[in-house]
Structure 1
Amino acid sequence: MTHDPMRDPAPFTVPVRGGDLAGGQWRADAAGTPILALHGITATHRAWHHVADALPERRIVAPDLRGRGRSNGLPGPWSLRDHADDQVRLLDALGIDRAVVLGHSMGAFVTVRLAAAHPDRAAGVVLVDGGLPLPHPEGLAPDEVAAAVLGPALARLEMRFADPSAYVDFWKAHPAIGPAWDDHLADYVAYDLVGTPPELRSSSIAEAVAQNVLELDGSDGYAEDLASLPAPVDFLRAERGLLDQPEALYPRERVAALAERMPALRVTEVAELNHYTIVMTAAGAAQVAAVVAPRFADEHAVADKEVTR
């Protein structure tokens, strides 16, 4: 693969509690309101490659959340509120007043916490297969919830790989990701790998992941934060689950019931794609972009008026 400065993210670091938050941004000089893109629970900013391609005129700022990627050396706690605080510091450091906040999976939960606590910083909220409360499986102790909810995704964090090709082979065999393999996914996987052979491992810190899983049930005022967000709150639901199984992370009936109680929620059904491919493929990114792009309609209208004067 060759580096393409128009398509590849430029790295950044900004000071936050305990050290530097790292990440990447696409088109830092682009005009207009930027997008703050927040990745999933064991992902990194490289998950947004395809979405960045699908929004070629927009500045996209994508951090590695605390405990993941090149931000994995930041200390805990790693709560959703801590992640949200990190994003405020990121926006401040980059001189961004407001951004459309786009979150996938756990990143969508961070999006809600951020937008509720700092409504002046969120120009819009888009949640991708995440951000709506996920009840914990009944009868489980807190230390059992993470394994039950994430399954293989959590187990991967304890695995060790002899060389980079072994990690690539692991991902190519993943039922939700392997069939969609491309250069962007290869880059995502390579970036996530840390350590030295034969003890290579994922960059995500298991303790951080386990803490965040416990927060996804809507407790600690989260449901109230979600309900407080102004309309519209966009939610894209992937039809298939974390292992590409027909059972989605969010059953259609549960989402419909929540939408009845929350008029601000605007649901987009994304057929055939799973929890990962909804953002990590060109097909998924196109659907995300179709929901995000109208958020900037007013900017385009103003620009058109300026041109015709």
Structure 2
Amino acid sequence: MSAHLDVEVTRPGGRTLHVRRRPGSTPPVLAVHGLSSTCGLWEWVLEEAPDVDLVAADLSGRGLSTPRSDVSTIAGHVEDQVAVLDALELERVDVVGMSLGAFVAVQMAAAHPDRVRTLTLLDGGVPMVRRPTRREQLEAAFADRLGRLATDWPDLGAYVGYVVSQTAPLLDPTDPLLARCLAHDLERGTDGGRVRLDGRALVDDAADVFLTGTAAEALVALRVPAQLLYAEWSTGAGTPPAYTTDEVAAVVAVHGSLVQAGLLPGHDHAGVVMTRTGAAASVAALRRSLARA
């Protein structure tokens, strides 16, 4: 993020959360990133919407936020996000979440409806019909992310090349915003280093999303208006998506008084935020949330 303010929020057990805020003229927006990302995920949104007052923390075990000593859970991330609001003296916010961040956002709204005004969910937050059923399957499904941890990357370019080839094939490896985003992953930034990602936390969080009823229970308890923007593909053109149109329609049929949904065609999961066209669509959805009376 450019022209941002950095804050460290202390949590129980000596943990700290690294928080960035890019001040703007809109009401404050809390942004929650995905499973293997950091607050750098929001670079494209910030460029698309320079007026948005955006607050984004590195989730525990990612970036500059220290990992938990116990099991990482969606509920734990929710309480961390509330602590961020308290530290910044923000009473109530609009929340945008991507992937894992969308599941955190829904559970936050369900558990703390007084702190959340609206939700903008980007390819996540709604329980998935087709999902892994065992922890070993999760480790296999996220082998590309876990594989990042085995290398001391010689420079940022090598790391960017790996991420695009293994995780997000539709991203542009020459995009300066991608370089800025991924530099925050690395110990030495543009000079490379180890990826600042706790592998155990990644699998713990994925297990909470896929192997428990947490997401379904939070959606049932939701009382805050939400928009879901979902991608046509998962990891590249033609790949099966996280959500089909029929699956989303079934959710809207049950929760239609709160949940609205729209398809983002021609984009995969990463492209919902990490491309200029995806960020434009995400910001349009966010602005609709901000405009709600």
TM-score (ref. length: structure 1): 0.85
The 2-side partners of 1:273 and 1:123 are apart by 28
1:14 equivalent in alignment to 2:6: no
Q: Which amino acid aligns with 1:165?
A: G
> Which residue, 65, 72, 87 being the options, matches 1:71?
65
Mapping 1:144-293, distance limit 5 Å = 144-174=136-166, 175-179=168-172, 181-194=174-187, 200-217=193-210, 219-230=212-223, 232-263=225-256, 264-293=258-287
> Counterparts of 1:128-139 in structure 2 under 5 Å?
128-135=122-129, 137=131
CA contact (8 A) 1:238 1:273 kept: yes
Q: Which runs of 5+ in 1 are unaligned?
A: 300-309
Q: Counterpart of 1:153 in 2: which secondary structure?
A: helix
Displacement, 1:161? 2.5
Q: Secondary structure at the match of 1:24?
A: strand
Q: 1:86 — aligned with what?
A: 80
Counting matched residue pairs gives 290
Match of 1:307 in 2: none
Deviating more after overlay: 199-208 vs 266-275? 199-208
State the shift of 1:72 in Å. 3.4
Distance in 2 between residues matched to 1:289 and 1:60, nearest whole Å: 12
Say if 1:199 and 1:60 are closer, same or farther in 2 by CA, change over 3 A.
closer
- The DSSP-based 3-state class of the residue aligned with 1:95 is coil
8 Å CA contact 2:34, 2:98 repeated in 1: yes
- How far apart are 1:4 and its partner, in Å? 4.8
CA distance in 2, matches of 1:74, 1:199: 25
The SS at the match of 1:100 is strand
- Contact 2:230/2:262 (8 A) holds in 1: yes
Which ranges in structure 2 are unaligned for 5 or more consecutive residues? Answer: none
Q: Percent of pairs identical after alignment?
A: 30
TM-score for the superposition, normalised by structure 2: 0.89
Distance in 1, Cα, partners of 2:173 & 2:260: 28
Q: Is the 8 A contact 2:94 2:290 kept in 1?
A: no
Deviation larger for 154-163 or 117-126:
154-163
SS of the equivalent of 2:261 reads strand
Cα shift at 1:50: 1.1
Which amino acid in the other structure matches residue 121 of structure 1?
R
Bigger Rg, structure 1 or 2: 1
What RMSD over aligned residues (CA atoms) do the two structures have, in Å? 2.6
Q: CA separation in 2, counterparts of 1:47 and 1:199?
A: 18
AA aligned opposite 2:18: A
Letter in 2 for 1:108: A
CA contact (8 A) 2:2 2:22 kept: no
**Alpha-carbon distance between aligned partners in 1 of 2:291 and 2:83, rounded to the nearest angstrom:** 27
1:120 aligned residue = 114
